[in-house]
Chains A and B, each alone.
Chain A
């Protein structure tokens, strides 16, 4: 029956992911003195894409057609593992989450090579380039939290309720925030709004996609960003305000934490410039170093 809780978690994240992206976009627009679209715009975009017809390159193989499904399924399953419904403590291995995200990445990268276009190739190459820094960073930063509590996600989250705010958790939180910025393809690392091929990473891989398949990938990518946001809120903002909370206040606090994270992302994106590709390793190494410090401080 525990699977049911996982699926409910995934569905909550699925439905709220476009909203989170919409909120970030709206906040960004305010900070840039624009009025911006409505918060619901990402839903409208998905709706529009689902009603479009598709064009597929004649150079592609079957993998190109199934890759969006694999990408979506992997990320949906990854979302189902999150410790969102803490009432039901399900000890899920953290490594499964890492593996599923890697699976999603592999599907998209192989599909990018499939069409034989140079833009998709450059996107795939950069995605791979970043991945060898992001994945170790994810594991090491999570390690800062798990080496005291075991490798199950919900146990870690449950333990964080009692953790006070200290330097150790602060450093780990900063490190994970840097990773979230990088993994969600936001400005210091990647630009989600650009349509200039040479500056894109994630978007470049999707150039050959259109219609329903593009909708699937876009939605899944939004879920992926929200996965990081939720992990941050549940594990890296360590203190819950009350220990024994009612359902209502639990969700209230959680939503506040997520909202705080969205604001932080929007502010970072507005205040920083995009880095050169070869600067990103340094950025990620700083995150890893912070995580290592936080492990040694304790």
Chain B
């Protein structure tokens, strides 16, 4: 049954890609609908794999799809589930959104190709196929980011992205090549036996880490990320941030826990250090930005940094032999990845609705959007609050688990070394979560509240389709936030099925999910809710004192002047003192730096490009020259 289901998914996606190519009318709508159905089926497959164990699928070379072997194990299924939820929302969003863009048919076809490749990358179990899909994805996303190619900024962002992606791919290819030379096989199932010696493992892992870090936008390789997310069409930037960055996480997990045998905890410390550095630097960059999508993209750098740091912590615990803590950190990483996918997906979709409605992406020009776009406004504000790590929301749980993991470090590594690691991590983590609050209240406060800072020309009614998908994502996120106990049980089960950790002798994960010491597994957050309800009753009682009083509406107080839109605090004004104490010189050094390196690479590759003249005679000459050189080499050496 699962075989036919997988075939059905592939067929639906291929149909979704083909529809806009063939059809002219309503192509985007039908194609997006097919994409949504495909994504939903991916979700079904993922749930089946999580419940019933790995799904293996193999097609012989004779069939239309070519040689394809899929193996959806628990780890892949988790990421497929994430892809599915975001994919459904983005596809539904696309039903209306795509036709508002130029070349809607191209966007629809490529968007669905992107979804198909995302499905494949998590389910292939062969390094050649993995690399093929990986490269296809780089190409597809390049075309998607370059969608509005008339804009010179978009073009530049797309090229920088492409060069960065290729640069990262080089390292990943190198890592897989080394794996091949160790195992003489392309199969992931052989790699999972993990029989490499530890010294080779470290080299392989470092190559993979560099490659996947570039894809995840880890500092100092984050230069491509904000520009690419800002340049891509709205639905695509949601997919890029919510799912494509997680692809790098998936690869890292495969390498760190399954393909390599790591036994030196310095490697884990390197991962933690880079993770925390990019968390800090990403959120710091977001305070510099004035464009909504760039702020969100910088926050993605920060979140990927936190997730990578958690993977590092988990690796550290695993290497030191503390499997319970390793599972805890791993669960926190996966949970934060899921939370980030849901919330960032919602935020990017909201931002793209705002862009479509106002044609204004600069927060300095926005303001008072809450009154004009109440539905999008509330979704955006709630998502923003969720990502700040406020209790009752989902990100709070993963951040709290991260806090626990950091505190536990001191009990694992005794003495000043452990204390130093723990204090540095804790400081970085605390500054990051405080700065997230600053960054997002600044974004929300300036663009959604106050009075409009510029004249909006139009607020066309695009219907509910540009609001509902992100509300679904937010809804799922809220459910996660309210049910941490269930999440703990589910995650314990899922991680058990991943067979990454030795679970014998581990204490139950749900024991660590207790906010209040007592209470059952399901009712973790219940005391908090009861207290909040009681607090609400208290506020009602307090305000009842003195009876009902009139509430009159008047002008904002402004020392007797008439308030003006320019009197409001600007986004730049809010972040200025922060940037001042953190030294402005530090500024965008990194980003300019990476952009320069990438442009230099581009320039150098121009020289190589001259070889490719397109002239057939020249290529024949090349072949001749290579043959001659090879003959000489063979004969004389």
Contact = CB atoms under 8 A, between A and B. Distances in A.
Interface of A: 2-3, 6-7, 10-11, 14, 47, 50-59, 61, 63, 69, 72-73, 76-77, 80, 89-93, 95-96, 99-100, 102-103, 105-106, 109-110, 112-118, 121-122, 124-126, 128-129, 131-136, 138-140, 143, 146-147, 150-152, 207-208, 211-212, 215-216, 219, 277-278, 281, 288, 292, 295-296
Interface string B425-438: 01101110111011
A59 B450 contact: yes
A99 B396 contact: yes
Contacts of B388: 102, 106
A183 to B, nearest CB: 13
Interface string B413-456: 00010010011001101110111011001101110011100000
B554 A56 contact: yes
A136 B569 contact: no
Interface string B365-391: 001101100000000010001001111
B152 interface: no
A116 B518 CA distance: 45
Contacts of A92: 515-517
Given A7-B534, A61-B371, A131-B434, A117 B568 contact: yes
Contacts of A96: 391, 400, 515, 528
Contacts of B554: 55-58
Contacts of B460: none
A99 B400 contact: yes
A143 B407 contact: yes
8 contacts: A57-B554, A72-B535, A118-B567, A121-B568, A121-B574, A136-B427, A140-B423, A211-B549
A3 B527 contact: yes
A67 to B, nearest CB: 11
Contact of A147 (B407, B442, B451): B407
Contacts of B96: none
Nearest to B395: A99
Interface in B441-475: 441-442, 444-446, 449-451
B597 interface: no
Contacts of B534: 7, 10
A3 B531 contact: yes
B569 A124 contact: yes
Contacts of B567: 116-118
Interface in B553-584: 553-558, 563, 565, 567-569, 573-574, 577-578, 580-581
B404 interface: yes
B605 interface: no
A93 B390 CA distance: 14
Contact of A277 (B368, B438, B577): B577
Given A51-B549, A56-B552, A118-B569, A72 B539 contact: yes
Given A113-B449, A114-B449, A73 B556 contact: no
B517 A91 contact: yes
Contact of B556 (A6, A57, A72, A296): A57
Contacts of B563: 59, 116-117
Contact of A207 (B444, B542, B557): B557
B451 A95 contact: no
B65 interface: no
Given A139-B430, A152-B517, A288-B427, 16 more contacts: A6-B527, A10-B531, A55-B553, A57-B553, A57-B554, A58-B556, A72-B542, A95-B399, A117-B568, A118-B569, A124-B441, A139-B429, A143-B422, A211-B551, A212-B546, A277-B577
B516 A91 contact: yes
Interface string B528-550: 10111011101100110111011
Contacts of A112: 445
B407 A116 contact: no
A90 to B, nearest CB: 6
A132 B431 contact: yes
Given A53-B551, A124-B569, A110 B441 contact: yes
B290 interface: no
A280 B531 CA distance: 34
B364 to A, nearest CB: 13
B573 A125 contact: yes
Given A57-B553, A106-B441, A113 B450 contact: yes
Contacts of B517: 2, 89-92, 152
A151 B407 contact: yes
Contacts of A151: 403-404, 407
Contacts of B565: 116
Interface residues of B, number: 82
Contact of B430 (A115, A135, A215): A135
A121 B569 contact: yes
A167 B267 CA distance: 36
Contacts of B399: 95, 99
Contacts of B431: 132, 135-136
Contacts of B574: 121, 124-125, 128
B153 interface: no
State the 6 A-B residue pairs at the shortest beta-carbon distance, nearest first. Answer: A121-B569, A91-B517, A113-B445, A136-B430, A116-B450, A51-B546
Contacts of B166: none
Contacts of B429: 139
Contact of A63 (B435, B449, B535, B580): B449
B527 A219 contact: no
B514 interface: yes
A93 B400 contact: yes
Contacts of B542: 50, 72, 212, 215-216, 219
Contacts of B515: 92-93, 96
A56 B553 CA distance: 5
Contacts of B569: 113, 118, 121-122, 124-125
B395 to A, nearest CB: 10
Given A69-B536, A72-B535, A132-B434, A116 B422 contact: no
Contacts of A105: 437
Contacts of A110: 381, 441, 444-445, 449
A258 to B, nearest CB: 22
B556 A115 contact: yes
Contacts of B435: 132
Nearest to A57: B556
A103 B390 contact: yes
Contacts of B410: 147
Contacts of A212: 542-543, 546, 549
Contacts of B553: 55-58
A73 B536 CA distance: 6
Contact of B539 (A69, A117, A281): A69
Contacts of A100: 391
B573 A121 contact: yes
Contacts of B367: 116
Interface centre among A3, A47, A100, A281 (most CB of B within 10 A): A3
A287 B537 CA distance: 38
Nearest to B406: A143
A288 B427 CA distance: 9
B580 A278 contact: yes
B389 A99 contact: yes
A234 to B, nearest CB: 17
